[in-house]
Amino acid sequence: MKKTKETKTNAMRILDRYHVPYQTLEYECGEFIDGVHVAELTGVPVEQSFKTLVLQGKSRQYYVFILPVVEEINLKLAAKLAGEKSVDMIHVKDIREVTGYIRGGCSPIGMKKQYPAFLHQSALMQEKVYISGGRLGTTLCLAPEDLAKVAAAKTGEFLL
């Protein structure tokens, strides 16, 4: 029987490099679906599922925010955490150019560049969290402390 080798994403390669334990969950997905539906499809607790948003400040600097999939970001609190006058979401068409990932497959780990990152503080109350694995159809499960370490993320409050 022929053994197929898993194609790793940048996020997985970085986790491997740092010897961070993680699990990979694969699901059928031909196009973007939101994080709530991904959680339902994979059977993982929605409160442990986190999405990655990329924002840009007035200074033109990019920032990565990792928050629960059921929540919305408060742009004023996000700007304050980032030390910016204001921040806005980047346009969907710019996601690949800025991060190297596509919409629905944007992992907070392994972007083209290491942008300042912020993990919502509620993640630290979870034993494990689920994030995008770096492509459609792939979710990664890891300890929130490991996510914060590898993504060089500060924790804070930035929800509506």
Is 61 part of a structural domain of the chain?
yes
CATH code: domain of residue 151:
3.90.960.10
List pLDDT tens digits, range 113-153: 999 999 999 999 999 999 999 999 999 999 999 999 999 99
75: confidence class by pLDDT, cuts 50, 70, 90:
very high
pLDDT confidence of residue 31:
77
CB 54 within 8 A of CB 63: yes
- Asked whether 132 and 106 are in contact (CB, 8 A), the reply is yes
User: Is residue 20 in some structural domain?
Assistant: no
Q: Is residue 37 part of a domain?
A: no
Tally of structural domains, the chain: 1
Report yes or no on 59 lying in a domain: yes
Cα distance between residue 31 and residue 55, in whole Å: 22
pTM score: 0.94
Residues 6+ apart with CB under 8 A from 91: none
What pLDDT band is residue 5 in, cutting at 50, 70 and 90?
low
**Residue 35 falls inside a structural domain:** no
* Number of neighbours of residue 58 by Cβ within 10 angstroms: 12
Residue 95 lies in a domain: yes
Q: Shortest CA distance to 11 belongs to which of 107, 84, 93, 85?
A: 107
User: Could you read off the pLDDT of 9-62 as tens digits, one per residue?
Assistant: 999 999 999 999 999 999 988 777 899 989 998 999 999 999 999 999 999 999
Range of the domain at 114: 51-126+143-160
Which residues have C-beta within 8 Å of that of residue 1, sequence separation ≥ 6? none
Q: Concatenate the DSSP letters of all residues of the chain into one string.
A: -PPPPPPPPHHHHHHHHTT---EEEE---SS---HHHHHHHHT--GGGBEEEEEEEETTS-EEEEEEETT--B-HHHHHHHHT-S-EEEPPGGGHHHHHSS-TT---SSS-SS---EEEEGGGGGSS-EEEE-SSTTEEEEE-HHHHHHHTTEEEE--B-
**Domain-embedded: residue 93:** yes
Express each pLDDT in 64-74 by its tens digit. Answer: 999 999 999 99
In a domain, 86, yes or no: yes
